[in-house]
């Protein structure tokens, strides 16, 4: 089951690469560098969906104490952090040639970084708690607080950066998104979503095997 998901995910990612490199048009001002957007933007969408899974899994675990719910939340948090890391890394790589800097305290960059740190905290709690069952409960509370905090982080950082100073650079990306660009984004989103689902399923299996081995 997991293996087939992996095969489908691989095909999805390949289709995404084909769309990004061959089908989508070359951007007028930025050139080929702009194609990194097809990984950069879907990665953050997928990461936030993974954190939604963390929220649901955490609530379900505290409600039912079913180990399956905890494993789902744990796996989704790890994979979400990886995808958010990919988003930040590709953003920096894209930012250097277009903005001239790896990092800037822009609203969206900052809020993504804060969410990244919150969910690293989620993983740390688990790691630093000796009893795994206790770690699962603690992590679930952090997961709920962290996920509910995401909208607050977004609003606060947005107001912090945009009310007092105007944006110093134009937002990157296509000015008028053509249909080929939209299609390429969509295909890449589906591809990365499948990849994310595959990673979560794989981590879930590993966590279960680990728990069965230690039990």
Partner 1 sequence: MTFVRRAWAVVWKDVLAERRSKETVNAVLFFSVLLLFVFEFTLGADRDRLASVLPGLLWLGVLLAALLGLGRSFVLERENECWEALLLTPGDKSAVYVGKLAGNLLLMALVEAVVLTLFTLFMNVDVGRALPGLLLVLALGTLGIAAVGTLFGAMTAHVRARELLFPVLLLPVLVPVLLAIVKSTEALLAGEPLGVVSHWLKLLVAADVIYVVVGLLTFDVLLEG
**Footprint of partner 1 on this chain (CB under 8 A)?**
62, 114, 117-118, 121, 124-125, 128-130, 134, 137-138, 140-142, 144-146, 148-149, 152-153, 155-157, 159-160
Backbone angles phi, psi at 168, to 5 degrees: -85, -10
CB of 125 to partner 1, least distance (A): 7
CB of 64 to partner 1, least distance (A): 12
- Answer whether 174's CB lies under 8 Å from 181's CB: yes
Q: Classify 144 as helix, strand or coil.
A: helix
CB of 203 to partner 1, least distance (A): 22
Closest CA to 23 of 7, 44, 8, 38: 38
Half-sphere exposure of 201 (CA within 13 A, CB side): 14
Which CB atom, from 155 or from 169, has the smaller least distance to partner 1? Answer: 155
Which CB atom, from 27 or from 78, has the smaller least distance to partner 1? Answer: 78
Compute CA 6 distance to the chain's CA centroid, rounded to the nearest angstrom: 18
Residue in the structure block whose two tokens are 């293996």: 3
Which CB atom, from 102 or from 159, has the smaller least distance to partner 1? Answer: 159
Which CB atom, from 139 or from 200, has the smaller least distance to partner 1? Answer: 139
CB of 215 to partner 1, least distance (A): 20
């Amino acid at each position: 089951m997991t293996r087939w998901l992996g095969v489908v995910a691989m095909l999805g990612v390949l289709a995404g690469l084909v769309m990004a490199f061959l089908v989508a048009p070359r951007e007028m001002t930025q050139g080929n560098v702009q194609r990194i957007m097809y990984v950069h933007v879907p990665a953050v969408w997928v990461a936030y969906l993974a954190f939604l899974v963390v929220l649901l899994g955490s609530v379900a675990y505290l409600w039912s104490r079913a180990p399956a719910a905890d494993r789902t939340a744990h796996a989704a948090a790890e994979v979400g952090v990886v995808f958010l890391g990919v988003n930040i890394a590709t953003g920096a790589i894209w930012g250097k040639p277009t903005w001239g800097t790896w990092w800037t305290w822009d609203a969206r960059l900052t809020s993504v970084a804060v969410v990244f740190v919150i969910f690293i905290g989620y993983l740390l709690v688990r790691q630093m708690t000796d009893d795994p069952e206790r770690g699962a409960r603690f992590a679930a509370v952090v997961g709920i607080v962290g996920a509910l905090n995401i909208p607050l982080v977004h609003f606060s950082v947005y107001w912090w950066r945009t009310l007092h100073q105007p944006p110093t650079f134009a937002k990157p990306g296509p000015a008028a998104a053509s249909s080929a660009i939209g299609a390429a984004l969509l295909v890449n989103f589906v591809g990365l979503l499948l990849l994310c689902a595959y990673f979560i399923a794989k981590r879930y299996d590993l966590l279960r095997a680990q728990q069965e081995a230690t039990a």
